[in-house]
Structure 1
Amino acid sequence: MLAAGGLASTAHASVSQGGVYGVDAVTDDWGDEGPLSTTSNSHNSVVGLWQAVLAADGYLPSADVDCSFGSQTKAATIKWQDDHHLGADGIVGPLTFGKADNYLYWVGSEIRYDGSKFDLYSMHRTSSGRWYANGGGSTAYFSYTSSDLCG
């Protein structure tokens, strides 16, 4: 579903809201997300979003974006965290997501992730701040309760 190729308010989102939400600047939207790990929130569209970030940065093959946080995703996460000078524990929480959202930027109404290998695009926010992706004629929300992003 994800494609390759002033003052800001703090984002107000969490697992308890059921999905990724944000307000104002996108570079603070992910700093309260997670945790994602092999044992917590391990199969959902937010995992797919994180895996897409790993793929865009060259840590995980794009073919492995499957919305399931398994051993390959954990290993790739540890490498990403280490390379970004974070505690490399393989758990994607606010610090890891918060570091990743520093690479988000707007192009019109579209949000993109500036990956080191390729950019992610086709990401958006609704007027209420809920994140979603468009692709293949459908819309998928970044949800902690479904894995629609991965089909």
Structure 2
Amino acid sequence: MTSKRARFAACTIGALTAGVLALSATPASASGTYSGLDYVYGGGVFADDWDNEGIVDTGHNKQSNATCLWQKILWADGELAASGIDGDFGSNTAAATARWQTKFQVGSDGSAGQNTWTAAGNWLRNSDYGTSGNTVAYYIGTSHVISVSRDSDGYYHFTDGDGSGRIAGYNYRTCS
């Protein structure tokens, strides 16, 4: 009787702990699709760099440099005006994201999650190593080409809407 009660208590505590941990995790990490890093990250070949990025949308990382990079991608593919590159995922960015997803045959929900980032990553092309030791790449859009680089830590760098250099982070916004 005591062993059954102890096993039941241990299972209950384990289930409660798992529930608390799941609630405290971000939605992307809770689903097992997010790398958990604070930055848009890559390593090795460019082909799979964006396969495990976090979500950017109106409810996740809404105001961030990762959102700003996503907006640059939307601009490169003709879905967002340059004036819309501000690092704030609002209704215009959501509508542009849904159009982009339709164009690239990704589930169209207006949220840039794992499938959307993975599809965008298919258009990254490696160039060479830059003078600063960063690996330089290009995102080949249907309307524009944007230059991105990956530093020695694997973090992605890009220029925002006004031409300032930025690091694509999820938890801060310096884009304008």
What's the TM-score once normalised by structure 2's chain length?
0.72
Q: 1:94: which partner in 2?
A: 114
Work out the number of aligned pairs and report it. 137
Q: Deviations over 1:66-86 (max 9, x none)?
A: 100000000010011111111
Q: Counterpart in 1 of 2:166?
A: 140
Which residue pairs with 2:138 in the alignment?
112
Q: Which moved more, 1:109-118 or 1:133-142?
A: 133-142
Gaps of 5+ in 2: 1-32, 130-135
Structure number with higher helix proportion: 2
Percentage identity across paired residues of the two chains: 33
Who wins on radius of gyration, i.e. which is larger? 2
Gaps of 5+ in 1: 1-12
Q: Say if 2:156 is the partner of 1:131.
A: yes
Which runs of structure 1 show a deviation greater than 6 angstroms over 4 or more consecutive aligned residues? 135-138
The alignment yields a C-alpha RMSD, in angstroms, of 2.1
Q: Which amino acid aligns with 2:79?
A: Y
- Conservation of the 8 A alpha-carbon contact between 1:37 and 1:74: yes
Give the whole-Å Cα distance in 1 for the aligned partners of 2:142 and 2:165.
Answer: 26
Larger relative contact order (Cα-Cα within 8 Å, sequence gap ≥ 6): 1
> Given the two structures, how large is their TM-score scaled by the length of structure 1?
0.83
